[in-house]
Chain A
Amino acid sequence: MKRYGEHRFPGKLFVVEGIDGSGKSTQLMLLHQWLQAEGYGVIFSEWNSSPLVRDTTRRGKKKQMLTPATFSLLHATDFADRMEHNILPLLKAGAVVLCDRYIYTAFARDVVRGMDRKWVRELYSFAVKPTAAFYFRVPLEVAMKRILLGRSGVKFYEAGMDLGLNEDPEQSFHIFQGKILEEYESMIAEFDLTTVDATLPIEEQQAQMRQIVKAKLTQAKRLRVAP
């Protein structure tokens, strides 16, 4: 069982991280389009999307039966399934794998929920170290404005309502995201995250991202699958 940082594969792994409303998914979508147009074999994998675990997660969330421990372990199970059946084999095959959220999301959320910081890191030590991990840094108020304008409401766990921070979902969400933001900030140095200023115009952020990705791909020309 290989540990974080020990894997060596021909493929490349790029991940995006950041609080809700940081714009990371939009940026990853734009990167995806570009890489495809450039002829790379690109695969996209999203946090919390394993078909194997979906029913259990849905049930746990719907009935509000998840504790910090089971929330953490269930998301790790989901991640393990995608790692074992999707991400690893594709990296071995030389693909460019794009992940919307990665282990750092778990590190931030689970620690805010009260799980032991070292334990959560150990839990995910089977993960492949990304070629680059982009952290979309945004002030809390900016992200809140983007989120709350675009949605009718926030869900129970999304707002951290299980933590009993505040009875009002919007207030709870605000406090919860603020704590997650602090965790992200402390991980920049720990995991060498590539910080992108998410208040810049979308085009500018994308240009920065492409430049970094391109530099990592020049050493891997053979990944190109189409002319």
Chain B
Amino acid sequence: MRETYSVILPKMGLGELTGRLIVIEGTDGVGRSTQIKLLRPWLEQQGHAVLDTGIKRSQLAARGIQQAKEGHTLGRITLSLFYATDFADRLENEIVPALRAGFVVLTDRYIYSLMARAIVRGLDPAWLHKVHSFALKPDATFYLRIGVDDLIPRVVFSTGFDYWESGMDLYPSDDMYESFRRYQTALLAQFDAMAQEYDFTVIDASPDIHTVFERLRTGISRVLKGEPREPLFAVPAPEVAVHPTDNGEVAAAGKTKRPAAEK
């Protein structure tokens, strides 16, 4: 039977959720949405009904988050909870009904991104873990892993540096490149630290689109056939990134131990 990370929301009916929940994780600009665009028709050709969803796409909160991010008074706890609201709305109104109907749900990011971004911004990992503990455990999480040096050219030649993706709220600077580098390095360290705890399947995202797509297909096919998942690549030891907490103190990423996800 499907499980959550601990708390069960009212009227979830976990026993009826027969579809497959597949998460594509990874940092900004790594190519998640490109891959999902390729995966969807591939899955549909094989006869699977697919729902694709992603952060900040809820009926309820998407607009509000966008407006809040355009202002200049958005606190870190507030931002994190606003995203959790968006996630809960999509979980209950999109993901759960699709799983109940037997769909393959492909989600562009999941609670891991929400937690990683908030931890880098100094929020308490144990608190974040509990707040998001109503999330369903996915059937698989594919983590598109990339080093910051490989990431930068992709971002430069696609969307350019975005205020939030460069952590400008966290590292205000005239130099967006430097902010982006610092922020993404800290974020990648958080993803790496989560890879083991949350049982990510790590996929090296530095090769070209088609190679990554090939690897994702192999991994997803295994999940859909119910074959055991093996990490395609070992996760390197987490780098230690330094980030400020909300008190301006400096804490090391991964230093605070999150309570292990209940297996």
Contacts and interface: CB of A to CB of B under 8 A. Distances in A.
A70 interface: yes
Contacts of B89: 65, 67, 70
B71 A52 contact: yes
Interface string B121-165: 011100100110110000000000000000000000000000000
Interface string B55-76: 0000111011001100101111
A96 to B, nearest CB: 22
A210 B160 CA distance: 58
A93 to B, nearest CB: 17
A206 B206 CA distance: 68
A53 interface: yes
Contact of A53 (B8, B59, B64): B64
Contact of A80 (B63, B75, B88, B122): B75
B73 A85 contact: yes
Contact of B131 (A66, A84, A123): A123
Contacts of A69: 9-10, 88, 91-92, 134
A84 B85 contact: no
Contacts of B68: 52-53
Contacts of B92: 67, 69-70
Interface string B78-106: 10111011001101110000000000000
B64 A1 contact: no
B214 interface: no
A85 B59 CA distance: 26
Interface stretch (A26-34, A71-79, A194-202): A71-79
Interface stretch (A54-62, A132-140, A141-149, A211-219): A54-62
Nearest to A116: B7
Nearest to A65: B60
B75 A68 contact: no
A163 B133 CA distance: 23
Contacts of B88: 67, 69-70, 73
Contacts of B9: 67-69, 115
Contacts of B60: 56, 59-60, 65-66, 70, 74
6 contacts: A3-B127, A80-B75, A80-B77, A83-B75, A113-B10, A115-B9
Interface of B: 7-11, 59-61, 63-64, 67-68, 71, 73-78, 80-82, 84-85, 88-89, 91-93, 122-124, 127, 130-131, 133-134, 245-247
